[in-house]
Structure 1
Amino acid sequence: MASLDARVITNKDPSMADEPIIVEISGLQPSMKITLHSSIRAPNAAVYECFAHYIADNRGKICLDRCESIGGDYKGVEAMGFMSFMKPSNLNKRKYERFLIKDPTKPFHIDLRVFDGHTPSLEDMSAEKRFHTNPHLTITRTYMAPGVVEIPVWDGNVRATLYLPPGKGPFPGIISMSGGYPGAMKFKAALYASHGYAALALKFFGEDDLSEDALSMDLEYIEEAAVFLRSHPSVYGRRGVGIIANCFGGTLALMASAVLPKDLIRCVVTINGWPFSLGSFYYKGKEVCTDSNPTIQISVSADGIHTWISSLPSNLTVEQLKSFTLPFYNKHDTSYLFITGEYDGYCPSLQYGSYVRMLFNDARHPDYELLCYEKAGHLIEHQYYPLANVAWTFRDPHFNGGQQPEHSKAQCDSWGKMFDFVAEKLRVCPKSKL
């Protein structure tokens, strides 16, 4: 398979990590078959890649926003498929690498290469061919819009990084929390700041002088972080702040919203966060826990992949359900958005979603939304983020679930709805969608 003398251009470069762009390939023969290969080499040297088959039109052009891929890692019209459908390369030294930019101040780069013909698989393209030829186009993507400021935070007990949008503000405040990953995933907070929010990437275990145990915390830590953010001179905090959190961070957000003072947490977005406690948590010297706990089954495959499946009994009444869940549904001054994937590798999200709805309705909660996405997995990230079906969590590879193309569609749909939700609750004008 030979590299072609094709011309590849994009309508915008650099661009934001969640921003759609248009890629066009020209200089081909009419009806010519080509393979488009895209790749990223992350700062930790891990490689992510995918490929797709296209056929040029009668002008010798291919526009990814209009032309169908007829094979490869994705099919159909997928303008951002070269990014959304990437997966860890089989050339990586460590399997199951998750695409992760730890330092959002540095952009990342996508290499696009065009080859003659339709290759059956990445394995049929030697590493020399797909990586050692000059790319036809290198696209630069970033998590920090021009003017966004990064500020390390070591204030009282709070360990975090604050990202502020350009301008004087004040800006609505968001706390960003991750799951079973030590420290904070700063790229999310940087992206929130790029959308006009003062975003605090909050660490809660595994770094600095914080505990190594994610399953034990005094929730006054989250209260202190929320007070810090609400009181910051660049933050409009009269209505409180929001929390956007995924996985176990979402569980902590629900715990905190249940016990923290009124008007501190205005809204919570939990992305596949569990509505029950796991571990030992306290607030004002009292234990925050549930009377009953779900069943957790842990298995390890021959490949070393850990699967944690939590489950609750079926057909629980509301009163029975309350013994398993945290009383977040009683906080009528806090708005909630639950984003879940049907193929979440950690829990039966459809069952949990129906139970959460029962609790909200029984409590006559005035403001909640539930979004459940068909075949989406556990790690629902920003739009165009590659699916991490398996990823390292708590220092082991964990099964997260999800299937393409549904997972990619879920990320695109939920990303915009999430910003609409927090903009309304924090009473700001939603930023125009990219």
Structure 2
Amino acid sequence: MSDALLSVVLSRVAGSSSRSFLRRPLPLPHRAAMAVSVQLQPSPDSLFDQPLRVRVSGLAPLQQVTMKAWLRDEKEQLFRSSALYLADARGHLDLAHSPALGGHYTGTQPMGLVWSLSPHTPFTRLVKRDVASSPLSLHIEVFDGHWSLEQLPRQPLATSTNQRWFMKKGVSRIPVRDGRVRGTLFIPPGDGPFPGIIDLYGSVGGLVEHRASLLANHGFLVLALGYFGFDDLPKDFINLDLEYFEEAVNFLRQQPKVISPGVGALGISKGGDLALSMATFVPHVTAVVSIGGCNANTLGNLHYKDITLPGLGISIEKIKFLESELIDISEVINNPVDEANKDCIIPIEKAEGYFLIVVGEDDKNWRTPLYAQQAVERLEENGRENYELISYPEAGHLLEPSYFPFCSASFHRLVGQPVAWGGKMKPHALAQIDLWPKIQTFLRKHLENHSKL
């Protein structure tokens, strides 16, 4: 078949109606003689934030196929995705070069099947708890014809499995109970020294380790730090003590493989404003990444020596009810620059370190774009240029490491019901892929360079 004819066929399939994938497969003049197979590279194992190349061989020329991916988390919750493809003139399919014609995403997206994994049970978020001893088993299947997930035939033409790990060989995971500090230390293989990072999640509480473990694979020595709702720590964050975080900083700095003298902090949501406060008040915090954070102290009071930052207030009446149980709480937190709230603002202009402020412009958890704008204005009004700002259109609140499945809404333990996180699947997923290496570059730049001064 000539390239011109192939181009015409592809354009007609791509331009067909949205119902085309519900039709039975088109009859083909002949089927491929060889067996259909799915090839994954690397195989069978890879890290979760590592790209996976997906190829299919043994198809008939121009054969319509549906690619499906699925996995189950540690609670046996099912996550699935699918996309519609057309084999090339040789009966081959390569997701790095072949465009998806419909399904969960469109266009050439080599990792689309992974980042578009969607929960079978609504409002379920993929979180890996056991990062050390078990991977997530990702199954990739290919089916004859174009189908929706609900209409797929019982048997795929071929299937393959990729074990996606969170710790590579040689990374050490060490539970921490040192003084008041509670968390987990992840140490890369080798002699180091390595940039030291404190990793903080938000108002979900407990201890979240997946991001810290992935960072350790990239040469960072990371302390995933609990600060409430874990072990013997306080059950809530009504009154947080910044000296606790200072104790964690000193513990990390004392690790023999950590580059001295400064360490970094990486926080998302409530963890974002805590990271800003650490850089402002705690010595030796020299690089901070705040993802979807606020420029003021939120939710509860924060104490440090003789200083108290009140928690930014909320207005419950500003909750928006979207559908069923789902709510939008983005307007609930009060505006930091209102006169009544100015004592809550974190005086980040006093910090000697560097800030990377990350914004999802479609954040439905709180008004991240507004908070970032106020933070930047405060720095610039005080003659400070120690910041970088990254803003992603159509991205939501939960900006995770590369290839994490997009989560638009999930159950919020603090709120007690499902909340919207915002974002649109494809731009949010691409934002995560873009952001993850930029975080590492920023932290490495300011921690490794600072050590040479």
TM-score by length of 2: 0.86
Contact 2:259 2:448 in 1 (8 A): no
- Distance in 2 between the 1:322 and 1:414 partners? 31
- Distance in 1 between the 2:224 and 2:158 partners? 35
Q: In the alignment, what sits opposite 1:260?
A: 282
- Distance in 1 between the 2:270 and 2:359 partners? 13
- Distance in 2 between the 1:88 and 1:29 partners? 32
Deviation of 1:346 (Å): 1.8
Deviation of 1:320 (Å): 9.6
User: Which digits, 9 at most, give the CA deviation of each residue in 1:296-346, with x for residues without a partner?
Assistant: 6334555222331246669x69x9995552102221x11000111011012
Q: In the alignment, what sits opposite 1:141?
A: 164
1:416 alignment partner, one of 437, 441, 452: 437
What is the aligned-residue RMSD (CA, Å)? 2.4
Label 1:321 to 1:48 Cα distance change in 2 as closer, same or farther (>3 A): same
User: Which digits, 9 at most, give the CA deviation of each residue in 1:64-91, with x for residues without a partner?
Assistant: 00000000000000000010111111xx
Kindly indicate whether residue 212 of structure 2 is the aligned counterpart of residue 193 of structure 1: no
Q: In the alignment, what sits opposite 2:36?
A: 6
Q: In the alignment, what sits opposite 1:338?
A: 357
1:100 alignment partner, one of 120, 127, 133: 127
Contact 1:35 1:115 in 2 (8 A): yes
Kindly indicate whether residue 52 of structure 2 is the aligned counterpart of residue 21 of structure 1: yes
1:376 alignment partner, one of 386, 389, 395: 395
- Distance in 2 between the 1:289 and 1:275 partners? 13
- Distance in 1 between the 2:73 and 2:365 partners? 27
- Distance in 1 between the 2:407 and 2:323 partners? 19
Kindly indicate whether residue 92 of structure 2 is the aligned counterpart of residue 61 of structure 1: yes
1:251 alignment partner, one of 265, 269, 273: 273
- Give the partner amino acid of 1:103: D
- Give the partner amino acid of 2:94: C
Deviation of 1:184 (Å): 1.7
Correspondence 1:417-432 to 2 at 5 A: 417-427=438-448
Deviation of 1:164 (Å): 0.1
1:407 alignment partner, one of 411, 421, 428: 428
Correspondence 1:135-174 to 2 at 5 A: 136-174=159-197
- Give the partner amino acid of 1:28: L
- Distance in 2 between the 1:153 and 1:324 partners? 31
Q: In the alignment, what sits opposite 2:291?
A: 271
What is the total number of aligned residue pairs between the two structures? 412
Contact 2:66 2:84 in 1 (8 A): yes
Contact 1:218 1:281 in 2 (8 A): yes
Q: In the alignment, what sits opposite 1:432?
A: none
The unaligned stretches of length 5 or more in structure 1 are 430-434
Contact 2:36 2:157 in 1 (8 A): no
Correspondence 1:22-41 to 2 at 5 A: 22-41=53-72
The unaligned stretches of length 5 or more in structure 2 are 1-23, 26-31
- Distance in 1 between the 2:406 and 2:238 partners? 26
User: Which digits, 9 at most, give the CA deviation of each residue in 1:270-313, with x for residues without a partner?
Assistant: 100111122112112532237x7565633455522233124666
Secondary structure of the equivalent of 1:411?
A: helix
Deviation of 1:377 (Å): 0.4
Deviation of 1:411 (Å): 0.6
Contact 1:182 1:205 in 2 (8 A): yes
Correspondence 1:62-141 to 2 at 5 A: 62-89=93-120, 92=121, 95-105=122-132, 106-119=134-147, 121-125=148-152, 129=154, 136-141=159-164
Kindly indicate whether residue 79 of structure 2 is the aligned counterpart of residue 51 of structure 1: no
Deviation of 1:60 (Å): 0.1
Contact 1:173 1:230 in 2 (8 A): yes
- Give the partner amino acid of 2:373: S
Contact 1:160 1:202 in 2 (8 A): yes
- Give the partner amino acid of 2:89: N
- Give the partner amino acid of 1:358: E
Contact 2:279 2:348 in 1 (8 A): yes
Label 1:313 to 1:165 Cα distance change in 2 as closer, same or farther (>3 A): closer
- Distance in 2 between the 1:203 and 1:321 partners? 27
Contact 1:258 1:327 in 2 (8 A): yes
Secondary structure of the equivalent of 2:163?
A: strand
Secondary structure of the equivalent of 1:160?
A: strand
- Distance in 1 between the 2:341 and 2:380 partners? 13
Contact 1:251 1:276 in 2 (8 A): yes
TM-score by length of 1: 0.89
% of aligned pairs identical?
33
Contact 2:245 2:278 in 1 (8 A): yes
